[in-house]
Amino acid sequence: MGAAQKVSEWRKLPLSLTELCIDTTLRCGQSFRWRKIDDEWHCALQGRLVSLKQDSTHLHYRVTWPKTPITTSTLTPPPSILNSPSPSVSNVDPPGDDAAELLHNYFALSHSLSTLYQQWSESDANFASKAPSFTGIRILNQDAWEALVSFICSSNNNISRISQMVHKLCTHYGPYIATVGSEVFHDFPGPEALAGKSVETHLRELGFGYRAKYIAETARIVSTGRPADWLRGLRNPTSPSLTPLQHNPDTIKMETKTVGEGPTYKGAHEALLELSGVGPKVADCVCLMGLGWGEAVPVDTHVWQIAQRDYKFGGKTKTKTFTKAMYDSVGDHFRKIWGPQAGWAQSVLFTANLKSFSEQAVLRGPTKTTQNVKTVKVEVREETEAETQEKTVLEEYGTQTTRNTRKRKTEKVEVKEETETGEKSVLEESGTRTTTKTRKRKISTKTELPVKVEEVGKGTVAEVTVRVTRLSKRRKTQS
Strands 183-186 and 388-393 come out as unpaired
Last residue of a domain, one of 238, 261, 294: 294
Question: In angstroms, rounded to a whole number, what is the distance separating the alpha carbons of residues 377 and 400?
Answer: 44
Measured CA to CA in angstroms, residue 357 lies from 13, 60, 133, 223 at distances of 27, 24, 10, 38
Tens of pLDDT, residues 306-317: 999 999 987 766
Mean of pLDDT values over 66-75: 57
- Same domain, yes or no, for 376 and 275? no
Question: In angstroms, rounded to a whole number, what is the distance separating the alpha carbons of residues 63 and 65?
Answer: 6
Domain range enclosing 447 = 367-383+411-425+441-473
Inform me whether the pLDDT recorded for 2 exceeds 80. no
Predicted pLDDT of residue 446: 39
- Same domain, yes or no, for 373 and 248? no
- Same domain, yes or no, for 287 and 372? no
Task: Report residue 426's pLDDT band, with 50, 70 and 90 as the boundaries.
Answer: very low
Q: What is the CATH number of the domain that holds 185?
A: 1.10.340.30
First to last CA, the chain: 79
Q: Which residues pair with 5 in a beta bridge?
A: 89
Measured CA to CA in angstroms, residue 256 lies from 57, 190, 240, 420 at distances of 28, 22, 4, 62
Percent of the chain having pLDDT more than 90?
55
Inform me whether the pLDDT recorded for 209 exceeds 50. yes
Identify the active-site residue in 53, 281, 312, 442.
281
Q: 10 Å Cβ neighbour count for 335?
A: 19
Last residue of a domain, one of 230, 261, 294: 294
Q: 10 Å Cβ neighbour count for 317?
A: 8
- Same domain, yes or no, for 10 and 92? yes
The closest alpha carbon to 202, from 243, 172, 158, belongs to 172
Tens of pLDDT, residues 27-43: 999 999 999 999 999 99
- Same domain, yes or no, for 193 and 48? yes
Please report whether residue 164 resides in a domain.
yes
DSSP per-residue string spanning 348-406: HHHHHTSGGGTTHHHHHS-----S-EEEEEEEEEEEEEPPEEEEEE-SSTT-EEEEEE-
Please report whether residue 304 resides in a domain.
no
Whether residue 412 lies in the annotated active site: no
Inform me whether the pLDDT recorded for 340 exceeds 50. yes
- The helix, strand and coil proportions of the chain, stated in percent and rounded to the nearest 5, come to 35, 25, 45
Please report whether residue 361 resides in a domain.
no
Strand order in the sheet with 373-385: 373-385, 408-419, 424-428
- Same domain, yes or no, for 107 and 218? yes
Last residue of a domain, one of 238, 267, 294: 294
Task: Read off φ and ψ for residue 9, nearest 5 degrees.
Answer: -75, 160
Please report whether residue 285 resides in a domain.
yes
Q: Which residues contact 447 (CB under 8 A, 6 or more apart)?
A: 467, 468, 470
Task: Report residue 420's pLDDT band, with 50, 70 and 90 as the boundaries.
Answer: very low
For the purposes of burial, counting CB atoms within 10 Å of the CB of 426, is it exposed (0-12), middle (13-18) or buried (19 or more)? exposed
Strands 58-65 and 11-14 come out as antiparallel
- Decide if 453 contacts 461 (C-beta within 8 A): yes
Predicted pLDDT of residue 323: 86
Mean of pLDDT values over 285-305: 95
Q: Which residues contact 404 (CB under 8 A, 6 or more apart)?
A: 387, 389
Question: In angstroms, rounded to a whole number, what is the distance separating the alpha carbons of residues 115 and 136?
Answer: 12
Q: For the CA atoms of 330, 331, 335, 337, what is the dihedral angle to 10 degrees?
A: 20
Helix (H) or strand (E) holding 35: strand 35-37
- Same domain, yes or no, for 162 and 251? yes
- Same domain, yes or no, for 247 and 377? no
**Average pLDDT of every residue of the chain:** 75
Domains held by the chain: number: 2
Question: In angstroms, rounded to a whole number, what is the distance separating the alpha carbons of residues 324 and 285?
Answer: 16
Question: In angstroms, rounded to a whole number, what is the distance separating the alpha carbons of residues 473 and 324?
Answer: 46
The closest alpha carbon to 378, from 423, 409, 411, belongs to 411
- Same domain, yes or no, for 188 and 39? yes
Question: In angstroms, rounded to a whole number, what is the distance separating the alpha carbons of residues 467 and 443?
Answer: 13
Q: Which residues contact 250 (CB under 8 A, 6 or more apart)?
A: 94, 95, 96, 97
Please report whether residue 360 resides in a domain.
no
Question: In angstroms, rounded to a whole number, what is the distance separating the alpha carbons of residues 115 and 107?
Answer: 16
- Same domain, yes or no, for 153 and 244? yes
Percent of the chain having pLDDT more than 70?
62
Conformational region of residue 347, where left means phi above 0, alpha means psi within -120 to 50, and beta covers everything else? alpha
Amino acid at 366: P
Q: Which residues pair with 401 in a beta bridge?
A: 392
Q: Is the dihedral of CA 451, 455, 461, 467 positive or negative?
A: negative
Inform me whether the pLDDT recorded for 147 exceeds 50. yes
- Same domain, yes or no, for 189 and 51? yes
Mean of pLDDT values over 425-441: 38
Question: In angstroms, rounded to a whole number, what is the distance separating the alpha carbons of residues 445 and 436?
Answer: 25
Task: Report residue 351's pLDDT band, with 50, 70 and 90 as the boundaries.
Answer: very high
Question: Full-prediction pTM beyond 0.85?
Answer: no
Q: Collapse the DSSP code of 16 into the 3-class scheme (helix H, G, I; strand E, B; otherwise coil) and give the result.
A: coil
Please report whether residue 267 resides in a domain.
yes
**What are the strands, taking DSSP E only, across 39-169?**
40-45, 48-54, 58-65, 89-91
Please report whether residue 355 resides in a domain.
no
Please report whether residue 306 resides in a domain.
no
- Same domain, yes or no, for 418 and 282? no
Exposure string over 240-255, b if 16+ CB within 10 A, otherwise e: bbbeebbeebeebeee
Mean of pLDDT values over 146-158: 96
Predicted pLDDT of residue 380: 34
